[in-house]
Amino acid sequence: MDLGFTGGFEFMGRSYPQLPFSIIWSNDNNRAACKTYTHNLGHDIACGDVWDFIDELPDEADVLIGGFPCQDISINGKRAGINGPRTGLYRAMVEGVKRTRPKVFVAENVKGLLIGDNREALAQVLSDFGSLGYAVGYKLYRVADYGVPQMRERVIIVGTSSEVNPFTPPEPERNSSEWITAEEAIGDLETVQENRDLNHIWSRANPSPEQGNRRLTADRPGHTIRAECHGNIQFHYSLPRRISMREAARIQSFPDSFVFQSGLRETERQVGNAVPPVFAWHVACSVLRCFQRSPSKHVAQTDQALNNSFDGIQS
């Protein structure tokens, strides 16, 4: 999500312009992910349990973004609910909002948050954020509608303070006939030999009910890339192997310049856990609109970035 908010990258021949967001503090609990983050984003990250670093948060921030863990409410997870050991970490994000008082915050989570008993969890999450004085809303997005070659669906929760404009969700830029297909996204890698330096490596796990046997369809976007695959990442649409980590990163809309600093298993986890950068860029453009013509010293810079962003959206 940080890559999407800062912008300044290319994916499938299209430029996603740099945006006027500067990351001033970040955190992850996975050391392999922290190594990848520093290598690609170019600055330090607080690596470890967020509660151990909570007193190091900056005093203020214009925007706070994050994805609190979703495994406890994911359809593919253990369904422990909002009080599970991982999903309960949304309270750390609530604490972060309370301490830094951002004008806008953005939280990402899985579609499962809208299903069955989890709707009570969603109501609690919205209530906790709302109690801090924010106007809070949510929307389910299909990332294929925003130029990501994947049928991933995710919930985005956004809160805005009274100091900025209300948040307007980004409009889809593609319909089903315009989705980027798996073959368009990764077809050029079919003849490329395995290369660890490019993350073009893949699992040798055999197809089975335990390991999974789902296969890409060439003329459709990819299936959702999962983080907890345990060897069951989807098979290539034409080759007798599972997709490589570089192919999975393409399906998640990572530019090829983004190189994961880990082996197969940890890279698989990082790619699957990520918010697709291209989709995050579209969300970031909508967040910028919240600041347009608001009383802020960054208005001129923001308006110029918005003009550049609109040019990118229309290209």
The residues that are catalytic are: 70
Contact criterion met (CB below 8 Å) for 237 and 215: yes
| DSSP H or E stretch at residue 300 | helix 299-314
Q: Locate 63 and state its tokens.
A: 């925007």
Q: Are strands 153-160 and 135-142 parallel, antiparallel or unpaired?
A: antiparallel
* Structural Rg of the chain based on CA atoms: 19
* Terminal Cα distance for the chain, rounded: 22
Helical ranges in 188-292 per DSSP H: 245-251, 264-273, 277-291
Distance of CA 79 to the CA centre of its chain: 21
d(CA 249, CA 270): 9
